[in-house]
Structure 1
Amino acid sequence: MTSLAAETTASMHTIFSLAGEAFKGAETLSSLNLQTLKTLMAESEESSRLAGSTGSPLELMKLQAAMLQAAPVKALAYGRQVQEVFATFDAARRAAYEESVASAQAKLLAAVSSFFGNTPNSEKIVALTQTALDTSNKAYKRMNEASKQLSETVAANVTKASETAAQASSPALAQIEA
C-alpha cells in the first residue's frame, strides 16, 4: 500500500508542478499582453498628436508609412515573446511526461521480470519487453524531434515573413519621401 501512496503522491506533485508552470505562463502572457496594450495606446496617442501637427498630406503619409513599416517588426517581437512562454511550459510538460514514462516502463519491466522470473526462458521474455520499450522510446524521441523541427520551421518562416514585409515597406516609404 505504501507503493501506491508514494505513486499517488508523486503523481499529485507532478500535476501541481505542471499547474504551477501553466499559471506562471498565463501570468507572464497576461503581463506581456497588458504591456503590449499599454505600449500600443501610448504609440497611438503619440501618432495622433503627430498627425494633428503635420503641416501637409505628404508629411501625414510619411508618418503613416513609418508606422506601417515598424508594425511587422513589433509583431515579430511579440510573437517571439509568446513563443518563449509556450516553449517554457512545453519543456516542463515534456520533462514531466518523460519522467513519468521512464518510471512506468521501469515498473513494467520489473513486473514482467518478477512474473516470469521462475519460468524457463524468462530472460527472453524480459529482453523482448525491453526491446519493445526501447522501440517505443525511440519512436517518441523521433516524434518529439520532428515536432521541435516543425516549431522551429514555423518560427523561422514567421520571422522571414515579417522581415520581408518590413523590407517591402521600405521602398514605399522612400517613394513617399521622394
Structure 2
Amino acid sequence: MMTFDQIVSMQKKNVATAFDLGEKALAGVEKLAELNLQTAKTLMAESAEHAQAMLNVKDMQDLVALQNAMLQPLGEKVAAYSRHVYDIASQMSAEFAKIAEGQAAEAHKQFVSALDNAVKNAPQGTEPAIAAVKNAVSTAAAAMESVQKAVKQATELAEANLKAVANTAVNATKAPRTTKAA
C-alpha cells in the first residue's frame, strides 16, 4: 500500500508532467503559427510582385512565360512547407513519446516495487501465484517494449517515405516543360 508521502510525490510528478506537456504543445503551436505567418508574408510579397509584373506584360507570349515562371517553383514551395509542418509535428510527437515512455517506465517501476512489498508480506504457499504474477508483469513489459520498437520503426519508415514522395514531387516540378505549337 502506498504511503501518503508516496501519493503526494506521485501527484507532484503528474502535475509537473502535465505542465511540461502543456509547454511543449504550446511551443509546437507557436512554431506552427510562426511558419504560417512567414508563409503568408512571403506569399503576399510574391503575389504583389507577380501582379506588378503582369501589369507590365506586353503580349501573350510574355504572359505565358510569366505564368510558367511563377508556377514552376510552386511545387517546391508546397513541398518545403509540408516538410516544415511535418518536422514540427514529428518533434512534438517525439517529445510526447519520450515523456510517455518515461511515465510508463516509472509506473512499471512503482508496480514492481509494490509487488515486491506484497511478496514480502505474502503468506506461505503463495509462491506459485506470485511467480505467475511476476512472469505476467515481465511478459507485459517485454511486449510493451517490442510495441514501442515497432512504432519507432514504423515512424522512421513513414518519415523516409514522406521524404521520398516530397523529393519526387519537387523533382517533378523541376522537369522541363514542353509546349506544343498550335
Task: Give yes or no for TM over 0.5.
Answer: yes
CA distance in 2 between partners of 1:60 and 1:149 (Å): 49
Tell me, in whole angstroms, the C-alpha distance in 1 between the residues paired with 2:70 and 2:128.
70
1:44 aligns with 2:24: no
Verify: 1:20 aligned to 2:23, yes or no.
yes
Aligned with residue 58 of structure 1, among 53, 56, 61: 61
* Per-residue CA distance 1:35-84 (angstroms, 9 max, x = gap): 01111111111111222223322222222223222122111111111112
Q: 1:152, CA displacement in angstroms?
A: 3.9
Check if 1:141 corresponds to 2:155: no
Alpha-carbon separation, structure 1, partners of 2:129 and 2:10: 26
Unaligned runs of 5+ in 2: none
In 1: Cα distance, 2:127 partner to 2:28 partner? 47
SS at match of 1:26: helix
Deviation sequence 1:101-122 (CA, Å, 0-9, x none): 1111112112222223243466
The answer to whether the Cα contact below 8 Å between 1:109 and 1:129 also exists between their aligned partners in 2 is no
**Contact kept in structure 2, 1:65 and 1:172, CA below 8 Å:** no
Deviates more, 1:116-125 or 1:16-25: 116-125
Q: For 1:98, which of 88, 98, 101 is the aligned residue? A: 101
Amino acid paired to 1:140:
M
Q: How far apart, CA to CA, are the structure 2 residues paired with 1:109 and 1:84?
A: 37
Matched, 1:107 2:110: yes
Aligned length in residues? 177
Q: CA RMSD in A?
A: 2.7
TM-score using structure 2 length:
0.81
Provide TM-score, normalisation by structure 1.
Answer: 0.82
SS of corresponding position for 1:116: helix
Aligned identity (percent) is: 29
